[in-house]
Structure 1
Amino acid sequence: MTSLDANIVIWLNGLSGNVKIFDDLMRLAASDYLMPLVFSLGMLGLWFSGKTPAERVKYQLTMLMGISALSIANVVVWLFNIWLERPRPFVEHGDELNLLFYPPTDPSFPANPVAVGFAAATAACTINRKFGWWLYAAATLFGFSRLYAGVFYPTDIVGGAIVGIAIYGFTTYLRRFLEPLITSFVRLMRGLSAA
C-alpha cells in the first residue's frame, strides 16, 4: 500500500509546474488560512441560522457538537502522531516531488486539516444537508490540494476524513451524557445575545 501511496502522490505532484494558475489555486487551497476560514465562517453562519427559535437552538446545539468534534479530532490526531510517526512524502521522496507548500514538521498520518474539515462538514450535514455537502467538497479540496502540493499521502487524507467523521459521531454520542450542561451553555449564550 505504501508504494501505491507514494506512486499516487508522485504522479499527482508531477502535474505541478505545468499550469501556473492551477498551481497558485492549489497553493491557496492548501494554505493554513483559506479552508479553516471557510469552515469557521460556515459553522458561525449555521450557529445564527434557523427559521424558528426551536430550529435555531437545534442548529446551535449541533454546531457546539461540531466545535467539540474539531477539538477532539485534534487530540486524536496528536495521539496517532505519537503512536505512528509516518514521515511526510517530501521527506521520503523529496527528490521526486516539487513541494508547493512549506514543509510541515509533524507526522503525516492522519491528515489533521482534513480531520477538522470533515468534522465540520459532518456537523453541518446533519442539520443542513445541502450546505454540509458544500463543506464536504471544501474539505475534499483541502485534502486534494495538500496531496497535490506533496505534503500528504492519499491514505493520510482518507484517514483524516475517517477520524473527522468518527469523532463527530462520538461527540453526538457523548452529548447524551452531557445534555443538561450543553443545553445550559446554549441558553447562557442566548442570554448574552451571542446566539
Structure 2
Amino acid sequence: MNYRIFRDINQLAGRYSLLDTIMITISQKARYLYILLLILMWFRNNFYKKITLYAGISTGVTLLINIFIKRFYFKPRPFLRHKVHLLPPSPSKKNSSFPSTHITLASALATSVLFYKRLLGCIMWLLAFLIGLSRIWMGQHYPSDIIGSALLGSLTAIVVNITVRVWNPFIRRILHTCNHFTNNSCYDNWKRNY
C-alpha cells in the first residue's frame, strides 16, 4: 500500500515540466516562506513574539530528535530500492528516508502556530502538506515517511505546548531583553557605546 501510493504519485514526475518545477520549488524554497512568516510575526507585538519563540523551541527540539533518530535508524530512500522518477537535487544515499527533516520541522512550526493563531497555523499546515507531496513526487520519501515525520513534528510541538510552564521563564527573559533593548534610550546608549 505504501509503495503503491508512492508509485501513483511519483509516476507523474517527469511528465509535466511545469509541475516538476513547482514541486522542486516547494520542496527547496518553502522553508524561506516559513522563515519570512516567523520574522513578520516577531516584529508585530509580544504575543506574536511568544508564538515565534514557542515555534522556535518546538523546531529546535524536533531537530534534535530528528538527528538522534537518524543516528540510530536508517531506512533506504525509495530510489535505492525501486525504479523511480528522481528529480534533482538528489539526496545522499547515506541519508535516511525517515524521518524527513523537511516535514518534521514544517509540522512542528505549523502545529506550534496553530495553538495560538488558527488561520495562520492552517496555512502553514497546507504548506507542510504540499512539502510532503513534493517530497514523494520527487522520489525522495515514501508516504509513510511523510506521515510519520508529520506526527513526530506535531507531537513535539504538542509536548512543548503542554510543558509551557517549563519554557515560560526562558520566554519571559528573552522578551524582557528584547523590549529593554528596543527601548529608545537603551538603544541610543548602546549605539553610543558601540
TM value normalised by structure 2: 0.87
Q: Percent sequence identity over matched residues?
A: 24
**Structure 1 moving runs of 4+ over 3 Å:** none
Pairing 1:42–2:43 present:
no
Q: 1:41: Cα distance to partner?
A: 1.0
- For residues 32 and 72 of structure 2, the distance between their equivalents in structure 1, rounded to whole angstroms, comes to 30
The corresponding residue for 1:58 is: 47
- For residues 114 and 29 of structure 1, the distance between their equivalents in structure 2, rounded to whole angstroms, comes to 12
Q: Pick from 128, 131, 151: which aligns with 2:140?
A: 151
Pairing 1:81–2:70 present:
yes
- For residues 42 and 90 of structure 2, the distance between their equivalents in structure 1, rounded to whole angstroms, comes to 35
Q: 1:57: Cα distance to partner?
A: 2.1
Determine if contact 2:112/2:158 at 8 Å carries over to the other structure. no
Change in Cα spacing, 1:178 to 1:28, as seen in structure 2 (3 Å) is closer
1:69-98 alpha-carbon deviations (Å, 9 max, x no partner)? 1111111111221232001111111xx211
Q: 1:175: Cα distance to partner?
A: 3.0
The corresponding residue for 1:17 is: 14
Amino acid at match of 1:76: I
CA RMSD for the aligned pairs? 1.6
Unaligned 5+ runs, structure 2:
184-194
Amino acid at match of 1:9: F
- For residues 84 and 169 of structure 2, the distance between their equivalents in structure 1, rounded to whole angstroms, comes to 52
- For residues 41 and 116 of structure 2, the distance between their equivalents in structure 1, rounded to whole angstroms, comes to 9
Q: Pick from 137, 144, 148: which aligns with 2:126?
A: 137
Question: Which of structures 1 and 2 has the bigger CA Rg?
Answer: 2
Q: Pick from 25, 34, 40: which aligns with 1:28?
A: 25
Determine if contact 1:175/1:182 at 8 Å carries over to the other structure. no
Q: Pick from 2, 5, 16: which aligns with 2:2?
A: 5
- For residues 90 and 75 of structure 1, the distance between their equivalents in structure 2, rounded to whole angstroms, comes to 26
Amino acid at match of 2:120: F
Unaligned 5+ runs, structure 1:
50-55
The corresponding residue for 2:187 is: none
Q: Which moved more, 1:10-19 or 1:135-144?
A: 10-19
TM value normalised by structure 1: 0.87
The corresponding residue for 1:53 is: none
- For residues 163 and 193 of structure 1, the distance between their equivalents in structure 2, rounded to whole angstroms, comes to 36
The corresponding residue for 2:191 is: none
